[in-house]
Amino acid sequence: MSRVSISEARANLSSLIARACQGEEIIIRGPKGAVRLVPIPVRKQKRKPGALRDKIDIGPSFFDPLPPDELPE
């Protein structure tokens, strides 16, 4: 686990991202707290358009206008 300051992270962001993608835990600390830099998991399958066809049903009322009490002001 590596700990770096915000200024170090700004200067070396590309290398920190590469290290995090290889599995290293990176902690970026600042004056108001700390965050952990982690990779987003890679999808194993590509999306298939229409994969949910016939599995969900959206009724015609879905397209009705919202009632006035639910509209934003």
pLDDT above 70 covers a percentage of the chain that reads: 100
CA nearest 29: which of 5, 11, 1, 2? 5
Q: Is 2 helix (H, G, I), strand (E, B) or coil?
A: strand
Tell me: the pLDDT tens digits for 34-50? 999 998 888 788 888 98
Cβ proximity of 16 and 26 under 8 Å: yes
Q: Which amino acid is at 13?
A: L
Q: Residue 7: its pLDDT value, please?
A: 93
User: What is the secondary structure of 36-72 as a DSSP string?
Assistant: EE-PPPPPSS---TTTTTTT----GGGGSPPPGGGS-
Does the model's pTM come out above 0.75?
no
Q: Residue 16: its pLDDT value, please?
A: 95
Domains in the chain, ordered, with CATH?
Answer: 1-39 (3.40.1620.10)
